[in-house]
């Protein structure tokens, strides 16, 4: 009985131990099934003998600078700084004298760019700093030089006659603009690309190069009264060929006054004066005589030029001397002071006071090429006229040259042909 009881007790104990082991194995299988690699974190720690790995280190912010490795930087190109993996904390751009160049940092602090032009042939130093999310700082330094021109040229915005254009001045409907460069332009296309003329209301216009230094602009038809004309030359930083760069930018504007067009017909010897297409006055005149006379170097054609003349402006106490066009001696030579007149061409044609020819005005041509009118009519025309008006002379048998204020003599097609291609 005792032996049997002991054996039974041992068997029972062994069975209980097996049951516990079986239960432990079943629990381990359930935990293993819950982990991606088939083992628990606890089992891994026990197996590896170390703590779980930490997060990877954050990389420093990386700066990019547009002038890195650059030479002959154009002074109008903005200097740019960018960053990845952080934010820009500071940027300084200074010239050789230590003067800082203005710049703008974006709201998100990811980009910076210079906000003013640089100088020609100057040395600059840029230092930029950025921080990553852990506060670690990165710094980038760049030194560079701007382009060194062979020569510089300045654009001057003028009337076709060569006078400056003060902002807001009033001109007539026939005004033509000239941009004069003080150096001969090798690349006219590049220079013309730097020029813009805008009209409000919009009208069609075109450029015409009449010399290597002068480009003119006019509209297809006369300008409309009330138009605002703005001329801009963005020359600085532009290469006009052979290392010739623009010295500076220039800009101005003018407005167009009432439409003044006077038609001087040699068939009737009358000047019909129109304001805004309405006839307001008729003036008798004596134009250039239809004969040639001997001059200092050969015959001189005295006929007045036909074609639309662009009024240069009014003058008083005009010194008129026939020697200016090659007639210095003889019965036909003259030298006198004329009280008042309106100049309509560059070779000396005027609508002017001529009390000596009142008898011929309206019936006979007696002048050396000008339009003679009475003293009263001369003063009236002087006060009424404005630069850029049109005096359209007709039927004299001699044609006005384009260079001689005859810009409107040229057809639109021939005018456009003078544009840089």
| Active-site residue set | 352, 370
Q: Is 8 helix (H, G, I), strand (E, B) or coil?
A: helix
Sign, Cα dihedral of 47, 49, 55, 60: negative
CA-CA distance, 39 to 28, in Å (whole number)? 9
Q: Are strands 307-310 and 299-301 parallel, antiparallel or unpaired?
A: unpaired
The secondary structure of 211-255, three-state, reads CCCEEEEEECCCCCCCCEEEEEECCECCECCCCEEECCCEEEEEE
DSSP assignment of 295-334: -SSSEEE-PPPBEEEEP-EEEEEEEEEGGGGT--SSTT--
Nearest to 170 by CA among 251, 231, 253, 233: 253
Radius of gyration of the chain, Cα coordinates, nearest whole angstrom: 44
CA-CA distance, 411 to 418, in Å (whole number)? 11
Residue 264 · residue 393 · CB < 8 Å: yes
What distance separates the 2 farthest-apart alpha carbons in the chain?
176
Residues contacting 345, CB < 8 A, separation 6+: 305, 309, 312, 400, 404, 405, 406
Cis ω for the linkage preceding 118 (within 30 of 0): no
**Which residue reads 């004066």 in tokens?**
273
Tokens of 148: 């060194």
Tokens of 60: 């420093």
Residue 345 · residue 305 · CB < 8 Å: yes
CB atoms within 10 A of CB 63: 23
Residue 86 · residue 132 · CB < 8 Å: yes
């Amino acid at each position: 009985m005792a032996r049997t009881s002991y054996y039974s007790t041992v068997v029972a104990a062994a069975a209980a131990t097996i049951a516990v082991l079986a239960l432990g194995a079943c629990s381990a299988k359930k935990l293993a099934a819950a982990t991606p690699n088939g083992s628990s974190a606890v089992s891994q720690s026990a197996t590896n003998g170390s703590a779980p790995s930490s997060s990877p280190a954050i990389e420093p912010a990386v700066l990019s600078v547009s002038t890195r490795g650059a030479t002959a930087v154009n002074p109008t190109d903005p200097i740019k700084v960018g960053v990845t993996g952080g934010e820009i904390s500071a940027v300084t751009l200074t010239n050789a004298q230590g003067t800082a160049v203005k710049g703008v940092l974006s709201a998100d602090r990811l980009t910076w760019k210079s906000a003013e032009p640089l100088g020609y042939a100057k040395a600059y130093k840029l230092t930029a700093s950025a921080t990553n999310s852990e506060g670690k700082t990165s710094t980038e330094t760049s030194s560079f030089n701007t382009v060194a021109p062979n020569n510089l040229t300045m654009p001057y915005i003028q009337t076709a006659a060569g006078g400056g254009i003060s902002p807001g001045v009033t001109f007539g409907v026939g005004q033509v603009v000239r941009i004069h460069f003080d150096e001969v332009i090798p690349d006219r296309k590049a220079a013309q690309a730097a020029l813009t003329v805008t009209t409000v209301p919009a009208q069609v216009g075109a450029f015409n190069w009449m010399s290597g230094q002068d480009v003119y602009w006019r509209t297809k038809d006369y300008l409309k009264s009330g138009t605002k004309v703005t001329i801009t030359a963005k020359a600085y930083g532009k290469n006009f060929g052979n290392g010739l760069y623009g010295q500076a930018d220039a800009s101005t504007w003018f407005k167009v006054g009432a439409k003044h067009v006077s038609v001087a017909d040699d068939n009737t010897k009358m000047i019909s004066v129109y304001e805004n297409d309405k006839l307001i006055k008729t003036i008798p005149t004596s134009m250039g005589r239809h004969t040639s006379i001997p001059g200092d170097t050969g015959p001189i054609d005295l006929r007045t030029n036909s074609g639309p003349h662009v009024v240069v402006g009014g003058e008083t106490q005009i010194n008129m001397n026939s020697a200016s066009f090659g007639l210095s001696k003889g019965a036909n030579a003259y030298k006198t002071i004329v009280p008042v007149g309106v100049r309509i061409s560059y070779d000396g044609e005027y609508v002017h006071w001529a009390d000596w020819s009142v008898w011929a005005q309206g019936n006979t041509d007696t002048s050396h090429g000008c339009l003679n009118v009475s003293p009263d009519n001369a003063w009236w025309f002087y006060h009424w006229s404005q630069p850029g008006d049109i005096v359209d002379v007709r039927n004299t048998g001699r044609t006005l040259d384009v260079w001689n204020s005859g810009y409107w003599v040229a057809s639109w097609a021939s005018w456009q042909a003078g544009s840089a291609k």
